[in-house]
Amino acid sequence: MVQQQQLKGKVALVTGGGSGIGRGAALRLAEHGAYVCVIDRERERAEIVREEIVHGGGEAVAVEADVSNADSLRSAVVHAAERWGRLDIVFANAGINGTWTTIEDLMEEDWDRTIDINLKGTFLTLKYSIPYLKRQGGSVIITSSVNGNRIFSNIGASAYSTSKAGQVAFMQMAALELAEFGIRVNAICPGAIKTNIGQNTNRTAEAEAAAIPVEFPEGSSPLEHHAGSPEQVADLVLFLASPQSSLITGTKVYIDGAESLLKG
Ligand code: NAD
């Protein structure tokens, strides 16, 4: 069990921290004593989460940055690390669904945008965090997805699934490369989680119709209405960030109530 306040004195950076899974994790890490840098491209969202943390007795800063923009992200990471003089936990979580359509119809700029934010953004987040993590070791958690790992039935999700599969390959390389510095790197693969991500989705009617619907056999899943909560994901992020998971690195962890076993 993760003990209260055991992250006291640790500094955590959460990208996409202004909403959904990132917000849930930022609040949970702060509850357990971490100082949290909430990074989001939407300044207001990040600010609200910062206020929630401070209201709960924690410490946080909010920084507006786009994870796909190297200059913007580098200054955000430096801001976080210099603010408290260290960086221990990195949650590379910001992501978008992007445009869901057939490969034939997918525009090159839509492909680039999804890959830039989901995959290059993960690379940039690690790249600029590593010099600080190396000083004392740490834990990196990357939000991948069941999509691109177990599920390939969402026709139209080629860019998204590719970005999410790429994140896992990148995570494994990073885990190998950074083990000697005491830096662990893992990926989480959520199934459907109730967040705002759907609002950014631009699936065509055809792609929507082509997606293969799967129903759970009655009572076979712990998930209510087939979707989990950001708080449930936050518990996993907390575990992977804490010393209780000290032997876990280079691994992807599914958090989907076994939905992807049925669907994949
Ligand atoms: P969300 O839309 O609720 O939150 C994502 C946050 O990331 C938003 O606040 C958004 O402003 C921010 N963001 C988007 N692009 C950004 C950028 N370029 N730079 C900085 N911030 C940016 O969505 P969520 O569901 O919490 O998604 C978080 C992660 O979880 C994503 O990587 C997503 O692919 C992954 N995921 C979500 C689900 C789900 O069902 N919700 C399932 C599997 C994986």
Max distance between CA atoms of the chain, in angstroms, equals 51
Residue that has been written with the tokens 């200054």 in this structure: 75
User: What is the pLDDT, as a whole number, of residue 198?
Assistant: 76
Residue 1 domain-assigned? no
Question: How many angstroms is it from 68 CA to the middle of ligand 1?
Answer: 13
> For ligand 1, is residue 195 a contact (CB within 6 Å)?
yes
ipTM confidence: 0.99
CA of 94 to the centre of ligand 1 (A): 5
Which among 35, 132, 160, 254 is annotated as catalytic? 160
Q: Is the CB of 18 under 6 A from ligand 1?
A: yes
- Residue 88 maps to a domain: yes
DSSP per-residue string spanning the chain: -PPTTTTTT-EEEEETTTSHHHHHHHHHHHHTT-EEEEEESSHHHHHHHHHHHHHTT--EEEEE--TT-HHHHHHHHHHHHHHHT---EEEE----------TTT--HHHHHHHHIIIIIHHHHHHHHHHHHHTTT-EEEEEE--SBTTTB---TT-HHHHHHHHHHHHHHHHHHHHHGGGTEEEEEEEE-SB-SSGGGG----HHHHHHS----PPTT--S-GGG-B-HHHHHHHHHHHHSGGGTT--S-EEEESTTHHHHH-
Q: Does residue 160 carry a catalytic annotation?
A: yes
The pLDDT value recorded for residue 263 is 74
Domain containing 64 — which CATH number? 3.40.50.720
pLDDT for position 3? 62
Give the domain range for residue 148.
Answer: 11-263
Residue 196 Cβ contacting ligand 1 at under 6 Å = yes
Does residue 4 sit within a domain?
Answer: no
Mutational pocket test of ligand 1: of 27, 40, 254, the residue with most ligand atoms within 8 Å of the beta carbon: 40
Whether residue 197 has its Cβ less than 6 Å from ligand 1: yes
Q: How many domains, the chain?
A: 1
Q: How far apart are CA 36 and CA 27, in angstroms?
A: 8
CA distances from residue 238 to 10, 28, 263 in whole angstroms, order as listed: 12, 7, 27
Q: What separation in Å is there between the alpha carbon of 78 and the centre of ligand 1?
A: 22
What is the tens place of the pLDDT at every residue in 63-79? 999 999 999 999 999 99
In short, whether 138's Cβ falls inside 6 Å of ligand 1 is no
**pLDDT reported for residue 2:** 61
Cα–Cα distance between 125 and 66 in angstroms, integer?
A: 10
Quote the pLDDT of residue 152. 79
pLDDT recorded at residue 57: 97
* Cα–Cα dist 23/229, whole Å: 11
pLDDT of residue 202: 55
Ligand 1 atom nearest to CA at 42 = 11
Specify the pLDDT at position 211. Answer: 47
Q: Pick the residue whose CA is nearest to atom 19 on ligand 1.
A: 66
pLDDT value at residue 260: 85
pLDDT of 201: 58
Residue 110 in any domain: the answer is yes
pLDDT along the chain (264 residues), means of 10: 81 98 98 98 98 98 98 97 97 96 96 98 98 98 96 87 98 98 98 83 48 46 67 98 97 92 76
Q: Please tell me the predicted confidence (pLDDT) of residue 26.
A: 98
Q: Quickly count: other Cβ atoms within 10 Å of residue 89's Cβ.
A: 26
Domain presence at residue 2:
no
Q: Is the CB of 192 under 6 A from ligand 1?
A: yes
